[in-house]
């Protein structure tokens, strides 16, 4: 599944990039689909802001986003950073006291507002004290009409943005009228972007992985996540029942599993099962590699007297290929998981003690024996690292058997 979005650049009078207008799309076609404004805004935010981040889509520049009246009044997502976002009030929204109060409140919270496709109607004047940008479709009015309008509102400190600028002549004349921002085919057409979108099931799995990283397992939270997916709940219990910790007594609940396994081991199994379900298939080679790395890093941490709970070394190895499994950049995946900084540093930059563990097993995987020997000398351990790797491979093969 992919989510689509278009962005059209906005430039200043020096043709320097100022920001992007973000435009909702629902497929490869670079045109607005036949959906209402509320749905378009909602999907743009859920599919892009919550997954990727408006800041990343806009490349660190201001993001201009259209909002309908319903969203502004009742469902505005205050998680959006006011320093990076401009709220565009659509010209089609019905004016009401509720809308005015909502705009006033958002202005007070530091959000910049823009009146989109402004039609010069005086009914919008009450919004001007809370408005920073006025966007004018210069194809809809002649220069005389635009000039008269500008004279009428010249006492308001607003920034004028010209939309649909198509010629250099227009650009020069609009600058003389007082426009300082410009958007249109003269500069650039909307650019299509897409990114892989995770299903709700995979989002549940990422949440489950995140919970397994906590210093203290939150059983209530864990249950809430697992109970959303009957199949996942069943597979989790089946996995635990096939473990060595369930030999003496059949385990029928996670709470009982915690008693028998202990939190540190349970966290490993939760993370392992969740990651396995992120893969496209049970024989995915990336899962096998992740398991080998998890076991190797965990055993290496034991020889180096690293803490067992939370099992950070195990989780570092296990998550080292999660970006490939969900087809998203590692930075983006980690932004959705409450992982300890030590794991983040290891996964993103191969830094810290856990980063050393990862680099070492990667050297073994690449048969780079000289690098492996160099890294091993830095760990100051008397463990037989070659044997640890051999044992980790065997463990990974065995651990997958119950799932086949």
DSSP states along 99-129:
HHHHHHHHHHTT-EEEETT----GGGGGGGG
CA dihedral 310, 311, 315, 316 (to 10 degrees): 100
C-alpha to C-alpha distance for 30 and 355, rounded to whole angstroms: 42
H/E run at residue 19 = strand 17-25
Contact 357, 301 (CB under 8 A): yes
**Domains in the chain: boundaries:** 2-196, 200-403
C-alpha to C-alpha distance for 304 and 383, rounded to whole angstroms: 9
Please choose, from the candidates 168, 152, 148, 266, the residue with its C-alpha nearest in 3D space to the C-alpha of residue 217.
Answer: 266
C-alpha to C-alpha distance for 306 and 309, rounded to whole angstroms: 9
pLDDT value of residue 42:
46
Please choose, from the candidates 283, 277, 349, 365, the residue with its C-alpha nearest in 3D space to the C-alpha of residue 316.
Answer: 349
Contact 31, 192 (CB under 8 A): no
CATH (one of 3.20.20.450, 3.30.365.10, 3.10.450.50, 3.60.70.12) for 2-196: 3.20.20.450
Contact 291, 282 (CB under 8 A): no
The CATH architecture to which 200-403 belongs is Orthogonal Bundle (1.10)
C-alpha to C-alpha distance for 145 and 142, rounded to whole angstroms: 5
The series of mean pLDDT values per 10 residues for the chain, 404 residues long, is 72 91 59 46 44 63 84 71 86 88 92 90 92 93 92 91 92 93 85 51 65 69 62 56 53 56 67 61 68 87 75 83 77 72 89 91 88 85 81 76 46
Within the chain, how many helices (H) and strands (E) appear?
Answer: 19, 9
C-alpha to C-alpha distance for 283 and 151, rounded to whole angstroms: 70
C-alpha to C-alpha distance for 387 and 366, rounded to whole angstroms: 16
C-alpha to C-alpha distance for 244 and 395, rounded to whole angstroms: 13
C-alpha to C-alpha distance for 170 and 5, rounded to whole angstroms: 28
pLDDT value of residue 395:
78
Q: Which residues pair with 181 in a beta bridge?
A: 12, 161
pLDDT value of residue 401:
57
pLDDT value of residue 275:
63
């Amino acid at each position: 599944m992919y989510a689509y979005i278009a962005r059209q650049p906005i430039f200043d009078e020096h043709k320097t990039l100022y920001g992007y207008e973000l435009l909702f799309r629902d497929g490869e076609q670079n045109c607005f689909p036949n959906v209402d404004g509320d749905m378009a805004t909602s999907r743009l935010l859920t599919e892009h802001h919550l997954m990727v981040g408006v800041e990343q889509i806009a490349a660190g520049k201001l993001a201009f986003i259209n909002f309908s009246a319903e969203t502004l009044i009742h469902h505005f997502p205050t998680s959006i950073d006011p320093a990076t976002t401009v709220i565009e009030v659509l010209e089609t929204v019905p004016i009401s006291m509720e809308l005015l109060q909502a705009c006033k409140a958002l202005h007070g919270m530091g959000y910049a507002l823009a009146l989109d496709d402004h039609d010069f109607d005086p009914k919008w004047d009450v919004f001007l004290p809370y408005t920073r940008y006025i966007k004018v479709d210069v194809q809809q009015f002649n220069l005389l009409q635009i000039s008269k309008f500008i004279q009428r509102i010249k006492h308001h400190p607003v920034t004028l943005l010209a939309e649909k600028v198509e010629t250099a002549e227009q650009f020069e004349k609009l600058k003389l009228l007082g426009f300082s921002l410009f958007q249109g085919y003269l500069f650039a057409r909307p650019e299509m972007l897409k990114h892989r979108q995770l299903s709700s099931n995979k989002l549940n799995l990422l949440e489950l992985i995140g919970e397994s990283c906590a210093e203290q397992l939150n059983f209530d939270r864990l249950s809430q996540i697992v109970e959303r997916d009957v199949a996942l709940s069943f597979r989790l219990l089946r996995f635990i029942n096939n473990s060595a910790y369930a030999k003496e007594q059949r385990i029928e609940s996670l709470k009982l599993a915690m008693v028998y396994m202990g939190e540190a081991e349970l966290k490993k199994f939760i993370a392992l099962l969740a990651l396995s379900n992120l893969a496209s298939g049970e024989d995915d080679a990336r899962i096998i590699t992740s398991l080998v790395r998890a076991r190797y890093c965990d055993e290496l941490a034991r020889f180096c007297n690293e803490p067992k709970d939370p099992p950070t070394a195990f989780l570092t190895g296990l998550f080292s290929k999660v970006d490939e499994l969900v087809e998203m950049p590692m930075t983006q995946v980690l932004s959705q998981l409450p992982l300890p900084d030590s794991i983040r540093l290891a996964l993103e930059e191969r830094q810290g003690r856990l980063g050393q563990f990862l680099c070492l097993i990667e050297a073994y995987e690449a048969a780079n024996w000289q690098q492996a020997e160099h890294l091993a000398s830095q760990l100051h351990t008397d463990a037989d690292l070659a044997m640890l790797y051999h044992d980790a491979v065997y463990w990974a093969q065995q651990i997958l058997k119950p799932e086949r």
